[in-house]
Structure 1
Amino acid sequence: MNTYTAFLHIHSTLRWVALALAIFVTVKSLMGLSGKSVFGKKDNIFAASFVGTMHLQLLLGLILYFFLSPITESALSDFGGAMKNPELRFWAVEHTTMMVLAVVAAQIGRSKSKKVADSAKKFKLQAIFFGAALLLMLAGIPWNRI
Structure 2
Amino acid sequence: MYPGLLHAHNGFRWLVLIFLVFAVFLAISGWASKRSWNKADNLVGLILVIFMDIQFLLGLVLYAFVSPITKAAFADFGAAMKNSDLRFYLVEHFLMMFIALILVHIGRRKSKKKAVAWKKYKPATIFYSIALLLILAAIPWDRALF
Q: Where on the TM-score scale, by shorter chain, does this alignment land: which range? A: over 0.9
Q: How does 1:1-146 map to 2 (within 5 A)?
A: 3-146=1-144
The letter for the 2-side match of 1:88 is L
Identity %: 47
Runs of 4+ in 1 over 4 A off after TM superposition: none
Deviation digits for residues 27-74 of structure 1 (CA, Å, limit 9, x no counterpart) = 110000001111100110001111111111111111000011010000
Using the size of structure 1 for normalisation, the TM-score is 0.96
Q: How far apart are residue 99 of structure 1 and its match? A: 0.3
Deviations, residues 55-102 of structure 1 (Å, cap 9, x unaligned): 111111110000110100000111110011111111111110100000
Paired residue type of 2:141: W
Instruction: Kindly state the Cα deviation for residue 128 of structure 1 after the two structures are TM-superposed.
Output: 0.5
Q: Which amino acid aligns with 1:83?
A: M
Unpaired runs of 5+ residues, structure 2, are none
User: Which residue identity lines up with residue 103 of structure 1 in the other structure?
Assistant: L
What is the number of residues matched between the two proteins? 144
Report if aligned partners of 2:107, 2:128 keep a CA contact under 8 Å in 1: yes
Q: Give the counterpart letter for 1:34 in structure 2.
A: A
Report the CA distance between 1:112 and its aligned residue: 1.1
Q: 8 Å contact 2:34–2:119 — kept in the other structure?
A: no
Q: Equivalents in 2 of 1:35, 1:44: separation in Å?
A: 17
What amino acid maps onto 1:52 in structure 2? I
Q: CA RMSD in A?
A: 0.8
- Please, which runs of 5 or more residues in structure 1 have no aligned partner? none
Matched residue type, 1:17: L
Q: Shift of the alpha carbon at 1:4?
A: 1.1
1:117 to partner: Cα distance:
2.5
